[in-house]
Amino acid sequence: PAITTASLNPLGEFQGLKSVEKYATDDFVNLFQDILIDLPVGEYFRKFIDSIITYIDQKDGNNVGGDKKEEGINVEDISQMINDYSSSDIKVFLKKIWLVQFHRWIESNCNGSTKEHMSELLKCEGDWETLQIIYNSFNKREMSDAKGQGLRKKYFNNLGHLYPDRTKRLNDSREYKDMVERLEGTQYFKYFDRIPDPIRAENEPELDMDMTIDDCQ
């Protein structure tokens, strides 16, 4: 816990954050029920859990014969699904929810140049999140085939200049060169035209890279 606390960004500190430490090894659902629900980030975790419940419900409703489980969804089902996600996966989901909500707040509460510039920034951030997901997936064969395309789509933002038409085309990319070709005509092409293929970058660590994807964001 001490190491985790030391690595926290001070901009994210809020009253009650340190109380989460003692629940570090507990079941996530218990952590949410007892602590997270009352914290500023609780709303995002609730929406994340809601998406899991929806997924389980749809999965059970689409099994053989189309019969749903009469007993409904229980806490153990939710906990098991959450445990299947890595911390980085959960972070991507939470940021996706946060970006959309923040954008809606800007649209409803701001005007003039503030609304214009903040909306543009958030849309670009949404695009970069989606592009990062696709770019990183090329190093994982299971995320680049037809099934993998369906998996990575769950993480995409429904906010940005690329959404929805260009995002769909980008998700059909099996290789990095496909992705670059489908970005032509967008504001992001000039960056990805200089970023190396992720598989080549991984296999050739000595490669002199002019730019990485992290440099662009």
Q: What is the pLDDT of residue 64?
A: 43
Inter-residue contact 163 to 157 (CB < 8 Å): yes
- What are 159-209's pLDDT values in tens digits? 999 999 899 999 998 889 999 999 999 999 998 888 888 877 677 666 555
Task: Quote the Cα angle for 205-147-95, to 5°.
Answer: 70
Nearest by Cα to 179 from 211, 209, 141, 137: 137
Assess whether 98 and 51 both reside in one domain: no
Residue 88 in this model has a pLDDT that exceeds 60: yes
Q: Choose one of 84, 114, 148: the last residue of a domain.
A: 84
What type of residue is 203?
N
What single-letter DSSP state applies at residue 69? P
Instruction: Name the domain count of the chain.
Output: 2
Averaged pLDDT score across all residues of the chain: 77
Assess whether 111 and 185 both reside in one domain: yes
Residue 62 in this model has a pLDDT that exceeds 60: no
Q: Choose one of 84, 100, 116: the last residue of a domain.
A: 84
- What are 133-157's pLDDT values in tens digits? 899 888 877 676 777 777 788 888 8
- pTM, two decimal places: 0.71
